[in-house]
């Protein structure tokens, strides 16, 4: 028989000794975060992929060492390396994607989630966490579907899983031969959902303006009808990934009405980005019509400032979720359920599942819906301010006034290759993280744009002005080859 383990009160995160074990480790983590950020001193590490790989692997050493270095050394070396090599969304010049700087209060709540480790697939692993989840998902769903008979929401890993679930629930309600109808502006996860679910290829409608045209959707539904494939799920977007545009939701809901009356069509709105505008008095009107959707995707790791992951799928009627019911004797035996143990297994496609609801609940309690709305307003204001700076600068072209917090712009008269090169140089030099998007220019020609997705509620006017200056400085240099050591001048498209 093996000797019994020696008690080590510093081994586990939970239990009465957990906090004492965690405190010094958390101090080490915090010191490493500070050291890493100081070493990086910018929105992302300098030198591009090769330099980052070299630095990280030098620090890391063997991936599977036989002898450990101990908790403090491991935490300090790896957290420092990760922070030094991070693209940090808390830096106002890190603005490429819907990649939010998490709130400190939410990150702190996530520590508690990790320490307690409830798993949301059965009541006996998450007694209180499951109550919290039911309570808050119901309230969030009621915000989206105020007239729904029994609004409810499922917690997901993000917009991708929520869109998949939305398509799955529609297929279960409308029947297996379901065609997704979406715009070219829809998120790529919509096409993936159709593929995963074995649905016919989605009908993707062109969106030259960046948003879906209700007339085109009505015509597409008629065409499907005529072809005998009448069951359709229209997927609209409230906050496109490229431009932050919002499809005309009331017009789309109207266009669907005739088909919907025959039970042949449903509306899913992917509001992964724009959903939280609902909280804001200043911006709520932009998502009017969201309440007419049959399901809605929300992503609180975008305009909700949560650490990843914090997605939701909301529905007006909890009964629609019954399609996800699963029986597994070890988790929800029928007699357990009859005896009153809540059955949680049907609340996700996953089994073991983190209590992502905790950080969301803590955030909303800490800030209130008004506090969260103020953050939404501040990033929308920042986008307006950035757009105004761009519009006032003759060397830059603004794509359009921002709808949410995305600003597309490009150096006036630049070739697409120059625009792409500016973005890559800013990345390589560690100066700024800007995104890229294709959209029609004023003459109706497709062009490549720089994309600033503003999600930092602390960004100052001076940060925005400095970002513009960085782009202008790079634009002045784009006549030089991007990789002088690899590329001959003749191959440089900017010449
Ligand atoms: C971000 C985004 C998604 C995907 O969400 P993930 O959380 O990355 O899975 C889907 N749709 C839209 C419109 C998005 O902006």
Question: What average pLDDT does range 456-460 have in this prediction?
Answer: 98
Nearest one of 396, 433, 381, 333 to 90, comparing CA atoms: 433
- Taking only the tens place, the pLDDT of each residue in 68-87 is 999 999 999 999 999 999 99
- Cβ–ligand 1 distance for 159 under 6 Å, the answer yes
Nearest residue by C-alpha to atom 12 in ligand 1: 272
Tell me the mean pLDDT in the region 23-52: 97
Q: Which of 346, 305, 310 is nearest to 327 (CA)?
A: 346
CA 358 → CA 21, 41, 155, 493, distances in Å?
Answer: 22, 32, 11, 51
Q: In this predicted structure, what is the pLDDT of residue 60?
A: 84
How many CB atoms sit inside 10 A of residue 470's CB?
Answer: 18
Of the residues 99, 100, 159, 406, which should be mutated to test ligand 1's pocket, given the most ligand atoms within 8 Å of the CB? 159
pLDDT band for position 480 (50/70/90)? Answer: low
Give the span between the Cα atoms of 484 and 495, in whole angstroms: 13
Pocket test for ligand 1, best of 100, 156, 158, 196 (most atoms within 8 A of CB): 158
State the pTM of this model.
0.95
Given a cut of 80, is residue 442 above it in pLDDT? yes
pLDDT band at 14 (very low <50, low <70, confident <90, very high): very high
Phi, psi of 122 (to 5 degrees): -150, 150
Domains of the chain (ranges, CATH numbers): 18-86 (no CATH), 118-355 (3.40.640.10), 368-475 (3.90.1150.10)
| pLDDT class of 385 with cuts at 50, 70, 90 | very high
Of 130-144, 206-220, 260-274, the poorest mean pLDDT is in 260-274
């Amino acid at each position: 028989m093996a000797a019994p383990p020696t008690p080590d009160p510093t081994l586990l995160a939970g239990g009465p000794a957990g906090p004492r074990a965690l405190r010094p480790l958390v101090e080490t983590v915090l010191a490493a975060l500070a050291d890493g950020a100081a070493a990086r001193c910018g929105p992302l590490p300098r030198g591009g992929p090769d330099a980052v790989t070299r630095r990280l692997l030098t620090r890391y050493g063997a991936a599977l060492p036989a002898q450990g270095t101990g908790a403090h050394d491991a935490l300090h070396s790896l957290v420092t390396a990760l922070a030094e090599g991070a693209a940090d969304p808390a830096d106002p010049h890190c603005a490429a994607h819907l990649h939010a700087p998490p709130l400190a209060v939410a990150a702190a709540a996530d520590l508690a989630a990790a320490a307690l480790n409830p798993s949301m697939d059965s009541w006996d692993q998450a007694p209180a966490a499951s109550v919290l989840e039911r309570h808050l998902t119901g309230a969030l769903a009621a915000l989206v579907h105020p007239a729904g008979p029994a609004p409810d929401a499922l917690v997901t890993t993000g917009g991708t899983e929520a869109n998949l679930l939305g398509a799955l629930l529609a297929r279960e309600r409308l029947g297996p031969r379901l065609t997704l109808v979406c715009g070219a502006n829809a998120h790529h996860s919509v096409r993936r959902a159709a593929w995963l679910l074995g649905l016919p290829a989605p009908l993707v409608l062109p969106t030259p303006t960046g948003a879906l045209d209700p007339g085109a959707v009505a015509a597409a539904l008629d065409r499907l009808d005529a072809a005998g494939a009448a069951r359709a799920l229209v997927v609209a977007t409230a906050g496109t990934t490229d431009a932050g545009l919002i499809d005309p939701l009331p017009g789309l809901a109207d266009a669907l009405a005739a088909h919907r009356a025959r039970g042949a069509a449903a509306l899913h709105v992917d509001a992964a980005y724009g959903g939280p505008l609902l909280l804001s008095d200043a911006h709520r009107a932009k998502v009017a019509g969201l309440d007419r959707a049959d399901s809605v995707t929300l992503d609180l790791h975008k305009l909700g400032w949560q650490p990843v992951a914090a997605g939701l799928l909301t529905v007006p009627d909890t009964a629609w979720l019954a399609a996800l019911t699963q029986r597994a004797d070890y988790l929800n035996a029928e007699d357990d359920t009859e005896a009153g143990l809540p059955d949680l297994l049907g609340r996700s496609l996953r089994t073991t599942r983190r209590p992502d609801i905790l950080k969301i609940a803590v955030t909303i309690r800490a800030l209130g819906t008004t506090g969260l709305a103020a953050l939404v307003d501040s990033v929308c204001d920042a986008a307006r301010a950035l757009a105004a700076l761009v519009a006032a600068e003759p060397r830059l072209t603004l794509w359009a006034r921002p709808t949410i917090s995305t600003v597309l712009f490009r150096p006036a008269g630049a070739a697409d290759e120059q625009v792409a090169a500016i973005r890559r140089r800013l990345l390589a030099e560690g100066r700024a993280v800007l995104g890229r998007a294709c959209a029609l220019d004023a003459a109706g020609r497709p062009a490549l744009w720089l994309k600033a997705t503003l999600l930092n509620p602390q960004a100052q006017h001076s940060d925005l002005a400095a970002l513009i200056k960085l782009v202008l400085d790079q634009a002045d240099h784009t006549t030089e080859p991007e990789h002088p050591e690899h590329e001959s001048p003749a191959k440089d498209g900017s010449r």
